Structure formats: structure tokens, C-alpha cells
Structure 1
Amino acid sequence: MNIALIAHDKKKDDMIRFVVAYKKIFEKHSLFATGTTGTKIQEATGLDVHRFCSGPLGGDQEIGAYIANNNMDMVFFFRDPLTAQPHEPDVTALLRLCDVYSVPLATNMGTGEVLIRGLEQGDIDWRNIVHGNTDRVTEI
């Protein structure tokens, strides 16, 4: 599955700890991230991460385009709700796209853990149907 990893500045450490904790699960999937977040994840884990631009410079929109084209299966976007973001309209658009295209989205570590455990157990296999990979789907 294609998984996006995004974190606001004050949540980057949380994202790094999260990916380190679940590295064994993440390494089985294709990872995509906004600029700085992707670099920090690569440095901390050694995982291969396709890096887009930094969020404020268009990275959120690049990931949004993947979602709109059904090329992203899950998004972990650890947001900082207490700090104003100069690119807030882009953030809102990304969240909206996840809803429109039924892409599972975690905006904090608690929900992230539920999603990553669901991924590990095969609870997200329905996304394979979207891509025509029905041979990988056990039973929904």
C-alpha cells in the first residue's frame, strides 16, 4: 500500500517515534512524505521514503493529487491544532480529499495506532479492491 506521512513542526518528533515503533509494518509498504518529515524519517529508520516538497511549498498538494488519483491508500498527518499554519487551506483540502476518496486518515498518534494495527491485521484490504488487486483480498 502507498502510505503518506506528514507532520507539522511541533509533531515531527511524534511522527519519528511512531514510525520507529512500527518500522516492521511500514517497511512492507511504499512510503511518501513531505520534505523535512521524509528526511527525518529516513535518517531515523533507514526506510526508503519518496519525498515531496515541504508542506507549505506544495507537498500537501502533491499528496492530495495522489489521493485524487487513487494512488494513496492511507495518510498519517500528525497535525498541530494549536499553531496557525500559513498553508491551512492546503491542509483543509488534503483532509477533505481523504474524506471524498475514503482514504483512511490519522491526525494524531492515537488514531495512527488504530490504523497501523488495522493495516497489520489486514483490515484495510478493501483498498486493494480500489486498485483491482482482488487476488490479495482475503474476505471483507
Structure 2
Amino acid sequence: MHIALIAHDNKKDALVNFVLAYEDIFKGHTLYATGTTGSRIMAATSLLIERVQSGPLGGDQQIGARIAEDKMDLVIFIRDPLTAQPHDPDIAALLRLCDVHNVPVATNLATAEAIIRAMDHGDLNWRYVVHPDASKEEKRTRK
């Protein structure tokens, strides 16, 4: 699976701790993250992460482009709902793309944990439910 990891400034510690707690599950997947978030996760774990720009500099849009190209399977975006963000339109566009392309998005730790635990138990295979025309070859290569 291709998983994006994003967190607002006030939530970065929470996401880093979450990824650290579930590092063994994340190891089996291709990970992407916005700038500082990716750096902090890599510093705290042994995970390799493809970093894009920070959110305000276009990172949200870069993740959104991967969603639009059907190259992202899950977005974990731990948001700070109590703090205004200068790039709110980009955030709204990213969430809209997740809805349009049926990409699960967790915006809080409770939802992220439910999804990660389901993945670990093999209970979730939404990619091939929402994209039933995915080729057998793609199914083998996009784990």
C-alpha cells in the first residue's frame, strides 16, 4: 500500500508517536510524508519515507496529485481543527480528492488506529473494492 502521512504543527508529535507505535505495520508499505513530518518520522523510526514539500509550500497538492493519479491508497492526516491554517484551501482540496477517488483518510488518531489495526489483521482491502478493475499485476505490485 501507498500511505501518506501528514500532520499539522501542533499534531506532529502525536503522529510521530503513532507511527513509532505501529512501525512494524508501516514497514511493509510505501510511505510518503510532507517535509518536516517526514523528517521527524524518519528520525524517530527506521522507516524510509519519500518526502514531498511541506504542506504550505505545496506538499498537500503533491499528495493530492498522487491521489488523482490513483497512486495513493491511504492518507493519514492528523489535523489541528482548532488552529487556522494559511493553506486551508489546499487542505480542503486534498480531502475532496480523497472523497472523489475513494481514498480512505484518517484525520484523527482514533480513525488512524482503527484503519491500521484493520490493515494488520487483513480485514481491509478497500483498494480492490473501490477499484475492482485493477489488474492482477497491479494487485501483486501495490502491496
For the aligned pair, the TM-score class normalised by the smaller chain equals: over 0.9
Tell me what 2:68 maps to. 68
Tell me what 1:89 maps to. 89
Offset, 1:121? 1.9
CA distance in 2, matches of 1:109, 1:124: 18
| TM-score, scaled relative to structure 2 | 0.90
User: 5+ residue gaps in structure 1?
Assistant: none
CA distance in 2, matches of 1:96, 1:123: 25
- 1:132 matched to 2:135? The reply is yes
List aligned pairs for 1:1-140, cutoff 5 A: 1-128=1-128, 130=131, 131-133=134-136
* 103-112 or 115-124, larger mean C-alpha shift: 115-124
Offset, 1:46? 1.8
Offset, 1:118? 1.4
Report the secondary structure of 1:5's partner residue.
strand
- Identity of matched residues, %: 59
Offset, 1:59? 0.2
Offset, 1:26? 0.2
Offset, 1:126? 3.2
Offset, 1:122? 2.1
CA distance in 2, matches of 1:48, 1:86: 29
Report the secondary structure of 2:135's partner residue.
coil
* 83-92 or 114-123, larger mean C-alpha shift: 114-123
Number of equivalences: 136
User: 5+ residue gaps in structure 2?
Assistant: none
Offset, 1:119? 1.2
Residue-by-residue CA offset, 1:33-60 (whole Å, 9 max, x unaligned):
0000000000000200000000000000
